[in-house]
Chains A and B, each alone.
Chain A
Amino acid sequence: MLLIRCPWCGDRAESEFSCGGEAGISRPLEPNALNDADWSDYLFNRTNARGAHKELWNHAAGCRRWFEAERDTVSYVIKRTYKLGQAD
């Protein structure tokens, strides 16, 4: 089981968390201005990176807050976790 550091609660067992998928996908501000291909890219296409991957996690059985994690998708090592909007 992974040990995941919630930016608010500290190190907790993976079973307390749920993974929210790739981070940094924001809903287009003007959907009507998009063509079908761009809309489809937003809705369905994913980076699905083999290696470094930024993703959303939710401390579902804890403080219930969302945060971001930088994780390696091959070794599963979590490089760091941080509060939303504090990437750098």
Chain B
Amino acid sequence: MKKYSGFSLFRNALSHNLNWKQAWRKPEPKKHYDVIIVGGGGHGLATAYYLAKVHKIKNIAVVEKGWIGGGNTGRNTTIVRSNYLWTEASLFYEKSLKLWEGLSQDLNYNVMFSQRGVYNLGHNLQDMRDIERRVSANRLNGIDAEVVNATQIKAEIPLIDTSPDARYPILGASLQRRGGVARHDAIAWGFARAADALGVDIIEQCEVTGIHREKGRVTGIDTTRGKINAPKIGVVVAGNASVLAKMVDLRLPIESHPLQAFVSEPMKPVLDTVVMSGAVHGYVSQSDKGELVIGAGVDSYVGYGQRGSFQTIEHTLEAIVQLFPMFSRVRLLRMWGGIVDVCPDACPIVSKTPVDGLYFNCGWGTGGFKATPGSGWAFAHTIANDHPHELNAPFSLERFTTGALIDEHGAAAVAH
């Protein structure tokens, strides 16, 4: 792997940028691997990277039915934070946030992680009580969190309507200053390039159509590019988790919903932080290109179509325009949807399964982008040791049988 640096930028500029090397190879699938990761989103690629880097596993493949990062990874609004309510969740997300903080260096790839702060607005007394509680819980877990009032919000975000007679009055917010946004594609490409450099085969345009088992153990997969064998298979396919689970007769506590986002035309910088409101189902930030990046709540029906309903867009935009009256004159440029895998307790499943050698990582729903490095790191540990790390042990599939759910709806449901 040729290292990226200021010097390499300069040198390649001199040759009109014609000599950049391909960032990852396009290998043909081999007959056998030690570990196969199904799904080339951020989580799958991160898993492969940490399997190779931390656990020194040599013979790994990532198989992706489309192109890497083309799923939710490339479709999300990129909010990164760790201020979840319950200890199990906040420690897992905090591990991820710590990895984000060193990720560009670690991968030698600029993931444009920008810690511009994340505000979660409170619109009524109960919102504020919940915010106080969550901020206290975060601080007890060593996670930075503050409660700010409407005056402070207005001082830091002048465009926001904090007047008392606003449609959605703003009483205050929780603020995590270490939160922020990152570049969606860069996380896929950065992990892909770094994993490839460690020998991981990234195989695109290769859809998994079946999973083979012998005496309760996985032995390999059928794909559109032939059969591939492996004693260990990690499935990280987000919205398609139930489809893959069905291949081994496994039922999951997951439903896949459309989740939509949209960007506006680019404009001058007006918003230098991230504003979210669970109550009105909307969140907004401004990209480095100047576009407003706006996300909605999920559509209520099961949907694999990567698009949702217009009324959901309307609902979100109504709320955003109430919060930021000036945005009413901004035109939208693009809109799209992803397929989010929602769990009943709004927490992920990073777990072994009843089939030996088969591992599932799913259920991240509307909020897994922030978890990409931490999820990959913990899933790699689980696969390499055939045993979960203490950080992801609570996120097992069994919790739905034992009843040890981790109810994060308050901190996670709509907001990201």
Contact of A88 with B by CB under 8 A: no
Per the bound structure, the CA–CA distance linking A36 and B304 in Å amounts to 30
B residues less than 8 Å from A48 (CB atoms): 242, 252, 254-256, 302
State whether A50 touches B242 (Cβ < 8 A): yes
Given contact pairs A36-B402, A48-B255, enumerate 12 new A-B contacts (beta carbons under 8 Å): A1-B310, A19-B300, A21-B302, A44-B400, A45-B252, A46-B242, A46-B254, A47-B242, A49-B302, A73-B256, A73-B303, A74-B305
A residues less than 8 Å from B253 (CB atoms): 40, 44-46
Per the bound structure, the CA–CA distance linking A68 and B338 in Å amounts to 26
Closest A residue, CB atoms, query B343:
A44
Per the bound structure, the CA–CA distance linking A19 and B402 in Å amounts to 29
State whether B309 touches A2 (Cβ < 8 A): yes
Per the bound structure, the CA–CA distance linking A75 and B304 in Å amounts to 8
Interface centre among A22, A47, A75 (most CB of B within 10 A): A47
B218 shortest CB reach to chain A, Å: 21
Per the bound structure, the CA–CA distance linking A15 and B308 in Å amounts to 12
Per the bound structure, the CA–CA distance linking A75 and B253 in Å amounts to 23
Q: Which of B255, B305, B311 contacts A21 (CB 8 A)?
A: B255
State whether B251 touches A36 (Cβ < 8 A): no
State whether A76 touches B305 (Cβ < 8 A): yes
Contact of B231 with A by CB under 8 A: no
Per the bound structure, the CA–CA distance linking A14 and B312 in Å amounts to 11
- Give the A-binding residues of B (Cβ under 8 A): 240, 242-243, 251-256, 300-305, 309-311, 344, 400-402
A58 shortest CB reach to chain B, Å: 11
A66 shortest CB reach to chain B, Å: 14
Nearest 8 A-B pairs (CB), nearest first?
A: A44-B253, A48-B242, A45-B251, A19-B300, A19-B301, A40-B401, A15-B311, A44-B400
- CB pairs A–B below 8 angstroms (12 shown): A1-B311, A15-B311, A22-B255, A36-B401, A40-B253, A45-B252, A46-B252, A46-B254, A47-B251, A48-B256, A73-B301, A74-B305
State whether A14 touches B311 (Cβ < 8 A): yes
B87 shortest CB reach to chain A, Å: 22
Per the bound structure, the CA–CA distance linking A36 and B398 in Å amounts to 10
Per the bound structure, the CA–CA distance linking A18 and B301 in Å amounts to 9
Inter-chain CB contacts under 8 Å: number? 67
Per the bound structure, the CA–CA distance linking A76 and B306 in Å amounts to 11
Using a CB-CB cutoff of 8 Å, which residues 1-35 of chain A contact chain B? 1-2, 14-15, 18-19, 21-22
State whether A73 touches B304 (Cβ < 8 A): yes
B27 shortest CB reach to chain A, Å: 29
Closest B residue, CB atoms, query A15:
B311
State whether A53 touches B309 (Cβ < 8 A): no
State whether B300 touches A18 (Cβ < 8 A): yes
Per the bound structure, the CA–CA distance linking A45 and B397 in Å amounts to 11
State whether B309 touches A14 (Cβ < 8 A): yes
A43 shortest CB reach to chain B, Å: 8
Contact of A65 with B by CB under 8 A: no
A residues less than 8 Å from B311 (CB atoms): 1, 14-15
Contact of A55 with B by CB under 8 A: yes
B residues less than 8 Å from A50 (CB atoms): 240, 242-243, 256, 304
State whether B309 touches A73 (Cβ < 8 A): no
Per the bound structure, the CA–CA distance linking A10 and B240 in Å amounts to 33
A residues less than 8 Å from B251 (CB atoms): 41, 45-47
Closest A residue, CB atoms, query B303:
A73
A residues less than 8 Å from B400 (CB atoms): 40, 43-45
A73 and B302 in contact (CB under 8 A), knowing A40-B400, A40-B401, A46-B254?
yes
A residues less than 8 Å from B240 (CB atoms): 50
Per the bound structure, the CA–CA distance linking A20 and B252 in Å amounts to 19
B259 shortest CB reach to chain A, Å: 14
A16 shortest CB reach to chain B, Å: 10
State whether A37 touches B401 (Cβ < 8 A): yes
B residues less than 8 Å from A37 (CB atoms): 401
B38 shortest CB reach to chain A, Å: 15
